[in-house]
Amino acid sequence: MNTDSQRSLSAAEVEALDNGFMGHPKPLRSLFFTEMWERFSYYSIRPLLVLFMVATVSSGGFGFDETTASAIYGIFAGSLYLAAVPGGWLADNWLGQERALWWGSIIIALGHLCIALSAMFGMSLFFMGLVFIVLGSGLFKTCISVMVGALYPKGDVRRDSGFTLFYMGINIGALLAALIVGVFKEKGLWHIGFGVGGLGMLVSLLVYRFAAQKNLTRYARAKNIVAEWETANDRFSNVGRWVIGFIVLLAVLFVTISTGMLPFNPELVAEYMTYIIAGVVLLYFVVMFLSPRLDKTDKLRLLICLILIIGSTLFWSSFEQQPTSFNLFADRYTDLNVMGFEIPSIWFQSLNPLFILLLAPIVSIIWVKLGKRGLEPNSMMKFAMGMLLAAAGFALMIFAAKIVVTNPGALASPLWLVGSLLLLTLGELALSPVGLSSMTKLAPKGMQGQMMGLFFASVALGNLVAAFFGGHVSADKIEGLPTLFTTMTVFLAVTAVILLILAKPIGNMLKASEEADKLS
């Protein structure tokens, strides 16, 4: 321990720590950049995956059909978010948040290295890299969100605003990644594009090691917070053996599939994954509701978490059309020539993070001002708003798809995608940061990592459903696009209405339970 951490801090220094980053705790800044570069690494490969897999072998790709490529992407993205459930449990019950985040970062970096080197060593190394990224992300994702939540005491009105700012870091990384890899994609330099993500992950590792750890420790001591993220939990002494056993089993499974000994149907696997994940999430909540160690207030909070997780699943099943159906629509059915300049199709993937960077500070300020006046909508209302905005975005795509279908050979204006992505982004800002904040706020003590993991499981389900629909965007299936977008529009609008109906009674129930909790 250094001298600076031992001495008492003055009131001015404590105030600077508590408001040192745009009115938020100073450690949020280093966590912001840690997450930004980790997301840069992910979004460097995200827009490339489907386009790379459907590209012909002669142009450097795998030559898969659209349905297979989208199913593989869905399995990857779904597994990545699903891994947050066991990752959150391991962080809560074995490694501790800090160690889980550190080892997760290293495993992600190894994954990017494998993908970059697969140009020389073949397809198996490519898919091994995807597996490493999934495993590492499972450890990384819940931990950093829990650390952000730990910066805010109960009742701090800055919490939602802080998560919105944290969300900006995600989108700066996504914006930079899409712009950079879009250039490599146009030149057919797929693996250089993949390799860029590895550099981003390396920067994330360095920022966490040399900035975030120091700032978190100093903040915890200044504010007399128990730094639970620093502590490894030895409650389950045999976890290490189970982890090793799982890794061995996974390695055997990978070898048997890659050598052709075990058949692998991506579409079928994606479909069954959807059913299994949904069943496991519901079973988890049933077990928790029946658990005698949780009181009535905890169970009510779990019920609200479940409703928000269901709403999140429905939202992401539409929003995650971006790397599949939206990506393919931009690449094949959109006029990319703007004033004589041919826009790389992947650049449309940068619009979402660009809009978030422009709009997130405004949304953050609005929530804080409404919160101070007691007028801020509750989580259920914000989720409903997000659904309605996303529904409006898909309604625009109905018209764009009809232009292509009714006029063979015609290309849609890029403005349709721009408008749709703007509305989807507004919906995301109303829903996603609030969801992260709600999980840290509502989770019973000792279950923060698990609740965050379950929230990410909803994103996993959304990715799998989106990939299933997105795989049907091809020349011989284009007639079905208006129906697909119409289904999504109705789907989102109906869900929004249900959430609006539930918003007031659930808000009243939660207030009553909190009051009872204070009196007990």
Model pTM? 0.75
What pLDDT was estimated at residue 232? 64
Least Cα distance to 393 among 351, 448, 450, 435 occurs for 351
**Segment 348-356 mean pLDDT:** 87
Question: What are the start-end ranges of the H helices in 351-447?
Answer: 351-372, 379-406, 414-442
Rounded Cα distance between 453 and 85, Å, is 4
Q: Percent of the chain having pLDDT more than 90? A: 16
Higher pLDDT, 222 or 10: 222
Answer whether CATH 3.40.50.1390 is correct for domain 21-519: no
* 59 pLDDT above the threshold of 80: no
* 493 pLDDT above the threshold of 80: yes
Rounded Cα distance between 59 and 422, Å, is 33
**Segment 353-379 mean pLDDT:** 82
Higher pLDDT, 100 or 519: 100
pLDDT category of residue 1 using cuts at 50, 70 and 90: very low
* 478 pLDDT above the threshold of 70: no
* 519 pLDDT above the threshold of 60: no
**Segment 135-161 mean pLDDT:** 82
* 32 pLDDT above the threshold of 90: yes
CB–CB of 473/69 below 8 Å? Answer: no
Place of tokens 């169970």: 299
Q: 3-class DSSP state for residue 64?
A: coil
Q: Percent of the chain having pLDDT more than 70? A: 90
- Flag the least confident range among 70-79, 343-352, 510-519: 510-519
pLDDT category of residue 359 using cuts at 50, 70 and 90: confident
Least Cα distance to 332 among 316, 317, 348 occurs for 348
* 406 pLDDT above the threshold of 60: yes
